[in-house]
């Protein structure tokens, strides 16, 4: 993806993983075929900025012109290919040195049973990230929780253990976890499920939020656990 407009990429930088498209970097028509030669290498604007800072003295920049495309002589000297600097006609969509980490990621959304999840932040993030990832490396899990009784808590813990094992088998070592629920109007306690009656939700005071490892292996996958005051019911819990 183009590091300027986030569109399709054409020119791949030979010093990093970024690319720039031919809509953002304008090359004279008679040099389009020339720059595609195997002897020509490309330096993106971000790497040029880094080079420019290193070429300066102290905290000052050298303000070297951006030539973009180069060949290298026998003695290693870089020679610009274009007769004049190419025109950059787009601003950075992100920072000049930013890169997308597309290693496997799971976006997990635990939501109270009965909640509507359409348009929630996890879905928005997933749709935004979707274009940057291989489909097998980005996962969205929207899971209901109902921990209103001891039996439901036990069932939920078994289910979470299965989710953890499934993520481990898929080699997904990074997670972004969201927990969505409602709160009781008077005290602000969080609802964690239905307590006996189908329409009666049970709320409890949240005493602490902690981070606990799901398992110990080469992938360091962590999750957030919401612990009610009693300690008897947990929304997000895995067996060690």
Q: How many CB atoms lie within 10 A of CB 13?
A: 20
Residue 54 has pLDDT above 80, yes or no: yes
What lies within 8 Å, CB to CB, of 207 at 6+ separation is 227, 228, 229
Let me know if 147 is exposed, middle or buried by CB neighbors in 10 A (0-12, 13-18, 19+). Answer: buried
d(CA 139, CA 159): 17
pLDDT for 58 beyond 70:
no
The shares of helix, strand and coil residues in the chain, as percent rounded to the nearest 5, are: 20, 30, 50
Task: Give the DSSP letter of residue 210.
Answer: E
Rounded CA separation 105/138 (Å): 5
Euclidean distance between CA atoms 187 and 183, whole angstroms: 8
Q: How far apart are CA 231 and CA 240, in angstroms?
A: 17
How far is CA 198 from its chain centroid? 38
Strands lying side by side in the sheet with 105-112 = 138-145, 105-112, 174-180
pLDDT at 35: 92
**In which band, very low, low, confident or very high, does the pLDDT at 51 lie, cut at 50, 70 and 90?**
confident
* Rounded Cα gap, residues 105 and 6, in angstroms: 20
pLDDT at position 79 is: 94
Tens of pLDDT, residue by residue over 133-154, are 888 889 999 988 888 788 888 8
Average pLDDT (84-98) is 76
**Hey, what domains does the chain have and what are their CATH numbers?**
11-88 (no CATH), 105-226 (3.40.50)
pLDDT at 189: 80
More confident residue, 172 or 132: 172
Which tens digits make up the pLDDT trace of 12-32? 999 988 889 988 999 999 999
Residue 40's pLDDT band (cuts 50, 70, 90)? very high
Summarize the confidence of residues 60-89 as an average pLDDT.
90
Mean local confidence (pLDDT), 94-121: 80
Cα torsion for 118, 123, 124, 130, to the nearest 10°?
Answer: -140
Q: What is the pLDDT of residue 229?
A: 39
- Res. 74: pLDDT tops 60: yes
Q: For residue 198, what pLDDT is reported?
A: 64
Tokens of 62: 């050298």
- Residues 163 and 155: their CA atoms lie apart, in Å, by 13
Closest CA to 65 of 34, 87, 35: 87
C-alpha 230/C-alpha 195 separation (Å) is 15
Which pLDDT score, from 0 to 100, does residue 99 have? 67
Task: Give the chain's mean pLDDT.
Answer: 78
pLDDT in tens, 160-218: 888 888 888 888 888 888 888 888 888 778 888 887 666 688 777 755 333 332 222 22
Percent of the chain at pLDDT above 70?
A: 78
pLDDT, mean of residues 81-104: 79
pLDDT at 216: 28
Question: How many Cβ atoms from other residues are within 10 Å of residue 64's Cβ?
Answer: 13
């Amino acid at each position: 993806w183009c590091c300027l407009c986030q569109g399709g990429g054409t020119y791949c930088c030979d010093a990093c993983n970024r690319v720039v498209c031919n809509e953002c970097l304008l090359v004279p028509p008679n040099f389009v075929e020339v720059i595609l030669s195997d002897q020509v290498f490309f330096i993106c604007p971000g790497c040029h900025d880094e080079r420019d800072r290193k070429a300066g003295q102290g905290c000052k920049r050298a303000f070297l012109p951006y030539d973009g495309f180069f060949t290298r002589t026998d003695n290693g000297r870089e020679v610009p290919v274009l007769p004049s600097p190419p025109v950059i006609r787009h601003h950075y969509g992100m920072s000049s040195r930013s890169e997308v980490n597309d290693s496997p990621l799971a976006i997990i959304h635990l939501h109270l049973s009965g909640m509507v999840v359409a348009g929630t932040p996890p879905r928005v993030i997933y749709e935004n990230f979707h274009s940057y990832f291989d489909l097998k490396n980005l996962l969205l899990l929207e899971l209901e929780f109902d921990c209103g009784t001891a039996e439901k808590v036990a069932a939920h813990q078994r289910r979470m253990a299965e989710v953890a094992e499934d993520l481990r088998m898929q080699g997904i070592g990074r997670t972004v976890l969201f927990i969505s629920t409602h709160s009781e109007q008077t005290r602000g306690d969080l609802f964690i499920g239905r307590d006996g009656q189908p329409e009666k939700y049970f709320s409890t005071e949240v005493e602490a939020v902690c981070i606990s490892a799901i398992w110990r292996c080469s992938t360091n996958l962590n999750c957030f656990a919401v612990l009610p005051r009693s300690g008897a019911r947990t929304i997000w819990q895995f067996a060690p």
